Structure 1
Amino acid sequence: MAMKVRAFLLCCLMAGALQAQTIPMPFSDDAETRQISVTVTPDRRSMRGLPADLIRARRAMHAKQDVPDDSLRRLADHGDGLAAQRYVRRLIAQGKAQSSASDVAYYSAVAVGAGRVWTLPDMIEAMRLLDPNSEPRDRIREYIKVLYAHAWAGNTLALDAVVVFNGRDKLFGALSDSTRKKILAQGEQNADGKVELRMATALLAQDAPSEAALERARGLLEKAYGSRHLGIRTTAENLLVLMNTRYAGDG
């Protein structure tokens, strides 16, 4: 199976058929590193400041009683991470993961930012469906705040998402030098080569990568080749061979 996955990845790059954001990266993270959680915005702990109807709704929620969608959403807007998580799960259960992708992503971010990291996969999956040109900037800022905090804390799922959503014409926009350095520093700390492989494939997936991009990709692949993960190491080796073949006559 691993050989089939690597062959598919190589074919995608050779054909230039996929955008960097959709290139598969089928190497699973350690479950423990995917669950690393930090509190970005403290969760609501009291009824203070809530209108009377939301006080009743919050009491009902904690009593595991049914609460209307609108009440869950409004509680989430008042900083209640549990309400945000339940609202996301309800949207998904109602089959609205695609039609309400922005709400799923945003309220997942509220939940994750309050320490409910179990909602992070839902957040990232919804973010893949968002249009960078129409998604509200305040929501994008929330995604950045939550993902970066978890990525720099060592959450490998969040770190991979930071790589995916940074770049020209992507949700977070062009990757800054400071963010690139932080990504690579965290990748080196993780020592699995996955970040380097993801960044290299993003560079190679460009329609016409520049000499500088090819040089960066080669350096990243050489680092990924030192991974302790056999699949990542082998894929990096294969891509280096592909680069030598495909770009041998360039320049």
Structure 2
Amino acid sequence: MRLLSVLLVLLAGQASAQVIPLPFTDSAETRQISVTVTPDRRSMKGLSADLVRARTAMHQNAEVSDEALRRLADMGDGLAAQRYVRRLIAQGRAVTAASDVAYYSAIAVGAGRVWTLPDMIAAMTRLDPETESRDRIRLYIKVLYAHAWAGNTLALDAVVDFNGEGKLFGALSDRTRAKILAQGEENADGKVELRMAMVLLEQQDLSAEARNRAKGLLEQAAQSRHLGIMTTAENLLALMETKDAPGG
């Protein structure tokens, strides 16, 4: 069993003594920080006659086919991408068409429509790192990283979650780790450090180096002014020490 699973089972046993809020939520403001990664389409330039008609209808809130929305989204129309995602979800295809939901959400979010970010991340959790298109993964990285470094806490959490061996973005590079920690320090709530520690502890075969890094991150999180984050970090550190002790 992964060390994190063991620690969380032990931590849950303390729930009667104190409530540990996991995971922690952010403010609506920090989850809605938006940046433009790719400028949204502002004209009909380059569109075929049928797409001109479809785009006109879309802006008039008239009926537009799924195919037309998809083609407009492929031509860089963020509004069409957002509406196509909502259409897929409304049709109950959030799971069966997870790659399309994630991809077209990324187009919408990259064009500044940050309200689609939760749909993008939810769909990404359903993707197989082995089969997902590398071109699509590069877009997810481009969009998520831009928002994470701008201070969007939802995107930053996702960057932490999708980096790692066997995960969608692959092994975490030293450069990306440094950027995550730098943004975490700027946020100054200890949440990033706690999440990064938990990602490490989730590894199947945790090396001594990774274990020490997790402890260091938990020690940083334990300095948080957020009571829940501080308490969770302190509890996990105490449980790690207990498990490391002879007979633990």
CA separation of 1:120/1:66 partners in 2, compared to 1, >3 Å: closer, same or farther?
Answer: same
Q: How does 1:1-251 map to 2 (within 5 A)?
A: 10-11=8-9, 25-249=22-246
- Cα distance in 1 for partners of 2:119, 2:7 equals 24
The TM-score, its normalising length taken from structure 1, stands at: 0.90
Separation of aligned partners in 1, 2:96 and 2:156: 26
Q: Distance in 2 between matches of 1:25 and 1:53?
A: 50
Query: What TM-score, normalized by structure 2, do the two folds share?
Result: 0.91
Equivalent residues of 1:36, 1:154 under 8 A apart: yes
Q: What do you get for the CA RMSD once the two structures are aligned?
A: 1.9
Aligned residues: 235
Q: Is the 8 A contact 2:7 2:240 kept in 1?
A: no
Change (3 A) 1:90 1:9: farther
SS in 2 for 1:115: coil
Deviating above 3 A after TM superposition, structure 1's stretches of 4 or more consecutive aligned residues are none
**Alpha-carbon distance in structure 2 between the residues aligned to 1:231 and 1:13:** 13
Alpha carbons 2:11, 2:236 under 8 Å: kept: no
Asked if the contact 1:13–1:201 (Cα under 8 Å) also holds between the matched residues in 2, the reply is no
Sequence identity percentage: 75
Separation in 1, partners of 2:7, 2:228: 12
Deviation of the 1:208 alpha carbon? 2.7
User: C-alpha distance in 2, partners of 1:108/1:13?
Assistant: 36
What is the CA–CA distance in structure 2 between the aligned matches of 1:229 and 1:194, rounded to whole Å?
9
Unmatched 5+ stretches in structure 2: 13-20
The answer to whether the 8 A contact 1:13-1:205 is kept is no
Q: Distance in 1 between matches of 2:90 and 2:105?
A: 14
